[in-house]
Copies of this chain bind each other. A is one copy, B any other.
Amino acid sequence: MSGSGKLALIAGGGGLPVEIATHLRASGRPYIVIRIENLSDAALEAHPGYMLGLGDFLKLFEILSNEQCKAVCMCGYVQRPDFDAMPRDEMGARVLPTIQSAGRGGDDSLLRQLANVITAQGYVIEGAHEAHPGLLIGSGLQAGPDLSPAAMEDAQKALQVAAAIGQLDIGQAVIVAGGVTLAVEAQEGTQAMLRRIPLLNAALRGTVEARKGVLAKLAKPIQDLRLDMPTIGVATVDDVAEAGLCGIVARSHHLLIVDKPAVFARAAEKGVFIYGHDDT
Residues of A within 8 A of B (CB): 80, 103-106, 161, 164-165, 168-171, 174-175, 178-184, 186-188, 192, 196, 199-201, 203-204
Contacts and interface: CB of A to CB of B under 8 A. Distances in A.
Contacts of A180: 104-106, 187
Contacts of A182: 186-187
Contact of A168 (B178, B181, B196): B181
28 contacts: A80-B203, A104-B178, A104-B180, A104-B203, A105-B178, A105-B179, A106-B180, A106-B204, A161-B170, A164-B168, A165-B168, A165-B184, A168-B181, A169-B181, A171-B181, A171-B184, A181-B186, A182-B187, A183-B187, A183-B188, A187-B200, A187-B201, A187-B204, A188-B196, A188-B200, A192-B196, A192-B199, A196-B196
Interface of A is mostly: loop
Contacts of A179: 105
Contacts of A196: 188, 192, 196
A105 B170 CA distance: 24
Contacts of A186: 174-175, 181-184
A89 B178 CA distance: 30
One complex includes copies of this chain to the number of: 2
Nearest to A175: B186
A200 B199 CA distance: 19
A78 to B, nearest CB: 12
